[in-house]
Structure 1
C-alpha cells in the first residue's frame, strides 16, 4: 500500500462516477485493505450485519454479500452495526495518534521563540502534513497554527501582565511582526495590547454583589454583557478578585444598573427561579466560544460528559480541549459549566469547589 500523502489520498467525489464504477473502485480498495480510503466509505456485510472501514484486517467478505455506504451513519441507518474488531483497532489507533499529537503540543509549548512549522511537526509524528493537520484538528478542535497562536498570545499576555512593553512582549512571544500581534490581540485579550498591559486602563467595568446561600455573588459587566461572575465566601474577596482580573480598569459599583441581572442570578442560585439566559461579553478562540455556546444550550437539571459535549460541537475527539475551555469560562453560572460531569457520572472539577457544584445540580433537579 502506498504511504498516504495529500497527493495520493483519494477524494470523495473527485471525479463523476456512476454506481458501478464507484462500487468497483471501492471493492478494489476493500480487497487491498487500502487505508487511504478510510473515512471515504464503509462496507457492510449482509450475512453478518456489521460494517467496517476499507482497511479492516478481518476476513474478506464475498462480493455478493457486500454493500457500500458513504458513512457509518448511513450504514447504521440501514440496520448495520460497527465491527467489534475495527472498533478495538480504531481505539488503539486513536491512542497512538493522540500520543503523537500530545508530543507535538509539548514540542510547540517548549519552543522558546519560533514555533516549529507544520512540515517539521508532521515529520516527527510520522504523518504527511495534510494528515497530521486533519488528525490534530480532530483531536483538539483547532489547527496546529491556531494552537500555536494561542500559545504565543498566552506568552505575550503573561509578559504584558509582568509589565513588559508591548514590543518586547510580542517579540519574546515569537511574533515576527507587530501587525500580526495587533490583529490577533483583541480576540484573545478583549482589548488593545497597550490597554491590557495597563490592566485594562480606561475600560469601564460595572460591578455589583449579592448574598446567596452558596456565598457572596459578584458580577461585572461591560456595555455588551456580563464579563465576570464570581462566588466567594468572603465579601471583601469579590472586589479584590475583580481588581486582580482587571487591575487598571475603571471599576464602578453599579447596584442599581445591574440590579436585574444580579437578582436573577442570585434567585437562581438560591433555587427561587429558573436559570436565566443573560447577555455575556466573552472573548476567546472560535473553539472556546463554540464550547461556551453549547454549555448555554444544556437544559437545566441535566448534565453532559466532556465527551458528549465534544460530540455536540462536532469535535468528538477534542475532549481535553473541551475541558480546558470549560476551565477558562470567566462567567460560570451565566455559562453553566457545572452541568458537565465525568464519563462515569461523578462530579469533575469546579472553580468554586465540588460542594457548590453539587448544590447547583441538586437545586436544578429538584425544581418543579
Structure 2
C-alpha cells in the first residue's frame, strides 16, 4: 500500500518480517492451496503452472498477499467468484496473546475469519492462508491501447459505463480494467488503455465487443490466450522501469452513471496541469473499475464479509486515482492535487443531484479517507468487538499503527 507507514511500526515496536513465510502446498485433492504471506501472486501463479488450477488472486504478479486479502482483494476472477477474501477456506495467524489459531467459517474462530475478510490489519499476524483453487488451465488476457483522440476518450467512457451495466452481468468470465494516463512520459496527451480478461480461451467474447474494433480501434494489443503464470511474468519489466518511484493512491466511488463518469474524468485531467506541472517527472492515472451486481452476489459465501455490499445497490464504478513521482518534496503537490479532485468531484456530483455510495475500497484508499465509515454501522461495531476480544490491549492497533484501524473508525 503506497502510503507512508501503512505497513510500518512505530518507534517502540519490533519489526517482524514475513518474507521467509514462502510455503506453497496443494491439498491432496488439489481443492485448496496453502499460501505463506511472504509470497507474491506471481509466486502463486508460477507454483500452479501446469496444474490446470488457479486462485482468485491479484491481477498483477508483483502484488503482495496478506494486505490484499484482508482488504477484500479485486481479482480478474472476481466477477465470477467474488472478492479474493471470499475464496479462503481458512486463515492461520498469531493473535495478540501469542497463540497460533486457525480460523474457518464454522469453527470457534469464525468471527476472526469474518473480520479478516475485509477488516484490515487490526486482528492478527497472518502466517498462512488456505485458498480455494479454481479451474483455469488457460485464460485470455492482455493490455489494449486505444490512443489519445477525443473520440477515443468518449467511446472509452461509454464502454466503461456499458460494461458496468451489462458486461459483468452477461459474462461472469469477463473483466475489464480501464486506465487513462497522462504526465511527463506522455508527450502526445492522455492515453486510453484497458486490461481485458476472459476466463478461458476466447478473444472475441460479445461482452467485450465495445473494447474492440470497430468501436474502439487499438493502437497496440496484447490480448491473447495464455496462462496466469505467463501473464504475471510478462509485466515484470514494466514494473522494473518504475521501481523506486513514489506512488500515491486515492479512491472514489459512484453508482454506474455516465454523467458521474464524465465529471470525474474531466475534473481529474483538468486539475493535473494546475497542480502537477511543476514536477520534473510524474504519471497521473485514472482507473475507473466497473463493478457489477454479480461481483457482490458472488462474494456472499462462507459467512459473508464486513463490507456486505448489497447486489441491489449495484452496479458501481470505483475510481482509483494514482500519481507516480520521484522526490519527497513533490508530496505536497500530489496531496493538494488528490484533495482538490476529491473536493471538486463531490461538489459537482452534488450539484447534479448524483448520489454516491459510501463504500470506499480499502486497498486503493488514501491516508485519511473514511474507509470503515462506508461499511455497515453494525459491521463496524462487530469488528470493534472482535478486535477487543482478540487484542484487548490493542497491540496491533498501537504497535502496528499503519493502515486503517477499526478502533479509529
- Whether TM exceeds 0.5 here: the answer is no
Q: Which one has a larger percent strand, Structure 1 or Structure 2?
A: 2
- Structure showing the higher helix proportion among its residues: 1
Provide TM-score, normalisation by structure 2. Answer: 0.21
Please report the TM-score for the alignment, with normalisation by the length of structure 1. 0.22
Larger Cα-atom Rg: 1
Which of 1 and 2 has higher RCO (CA within 8 Å, sep 6+)? 2
